[in-house]
Amino acid sequence: MRPNLMKAKLRAGEPALGCSVMFPSPQIVEIVGHAGFDWVLLDCEHGSLSLADVEVMAMAADAAGITPIARPRSNAAADIQSVMDRGVMGVQIPHINSVEDARRAVSAVKFGPGAGRGLAAGTRPDDWGLGVKMPDFTAAANEQSLVCVQLEHAAAIRNADEVLTVDGIDVFFIGPSDLSQSMGHPGNPGAPAVAQAIVATRGKIAAAGKVCGMPATTDSVAALVRDGVRYIYTHLPRLLGAGATPFLKAARSGHG
């Protein structure tokens, strides 16, 4: 199994910068790679990606030299396993609110006794059954797969100390949008109560020696990196909008 370059960057304390893609396009994944990003988030929770799309887009990511991470439709073990079996290198699992949720999430990614992930020969991650022996594959898969859990509800923030003790989690991602909604300020993560919860939870993640993740914009990314956030992504529409706005403004001012 190929090494997870993104996971290596995070272990070295380096920022891993990604881009979220919500619609089927291996070509966009290639562009994201050639643009210099470290990884791509294939978003099945909020996007229109099928499992077949995830597989082809993971192939494109591999070809472009970036790490494919999928956000499954839900935190159900079946949804997590389905994207892992398409050959992504990890998962960003939504709506993890408790220790029990976190343990189930890890179990759905890793192989072994009592694991929630089924083991099948002949899938893309094990080179369609034509690669190494199965015991070697499972050991490598457990080492290289990345588990990111999303803390995005008031309950998750309350339970953060306990969730941070769960083994096998590489990244604790704070989801500001759902968190703002959960705390009664939908779409306003800058509301004082929400902002304070985010800062406090980032502090707990850092104090536990764990990796923190958050989404970012051009305006916020430098501050997040300075504050120790290492798992960072932006959204493809933001990148397109950032390029389109000055272009259209220049064109229309020239015409006028």
Kindly report, residue by residue over 123-173, the tens digit of the pLDDT. 999 999 998 999 999 999 999 999 999 999 999 999 999 999 999 999 999
In this prediction, residues 211-237 reach a mean pLDDT of 97
In this prediction, residues 184-212 reach a mean pLDDT of 97
**pLDDT for res 56:** 98
Per the CATH hierarchy, to which homologous superfamily does domain 5-255 belong?
Phosphoenolpyruvate-binding domains (3.20.20.60)
Active site residue 46: yes
**Which residue of the set 34, 46, 153, 235 is catalytic?**
46
Mean pLDDT taken over the chain = 96
Q: Is the pLDDT of residue 255 over 90?
A: no
SS3 for 60-125 is HHHHHCCEEEEECCCCCHHHHHHHHCCCCCEEEECCCCCHHHHHHHHHHHCCCCCCCCCCCCCCHH
Q: What distance in Å separates the CA atoms of residue 235 and residue 238, rounded to the nearest whole number?
A: 5
**pLDDT for res 1:** 74
**pLDDT for res 256:** 63
Q: Is the pLDDT of residue 29 over 70?
A: yes
Domain ranges of the chain: 5-255
212: tokens are 């923190």
**pLDDT for res 161:** 98
Half-sphere exposure of 254 (CA within 13 A, CB side): 6
Contact 234, 217 (CB under 8 A): yes
Categorize the per-residue pLDDT at 2 as very low, low, confident or very high, splitting at 50, 70 and 90: confident
Nearest to 104 by CA among 178, 174, 163: 163
From residue 108, alpha-carbon distances to 69, 105, 178, 203, 226 in Å are 15, 5, 23, 28, 33
**pLDDT for res 106:** 97
pTM for this one? 0.95
Q: Does residue 145 sit in helix, strand or coil?
A: coil
**pLDDT for res 113:** 79
255: tokens are 């015409």
Q: What distance in Å separates the CA atoms of residue 166 and residue 160, rounded to the nearest whole number?
A: 10
**pLDDT for res 114:** 72
Give percent above pLDDT 70 in the chain: 99
Kindly report, residue by residue over 73-121, the tens digit of the pLDDT. 999 999 999 999 999 999 999 999 999 999 999 999 999 877 678 898 8
**Long-range contact list for 74-81, CB < 8 A, 24+ apart?**
74/45, 75/101, 75/104, 75/105, 77/104, 77/107, 77/108, 77/116, 77/117, 79/44, 80/105, 80/108, 80/109, 80/117, 81/108, 81/116, 81/117, 81/118
For the chain, helix, strand, coil in percent to 5 are: 50, 15, 35
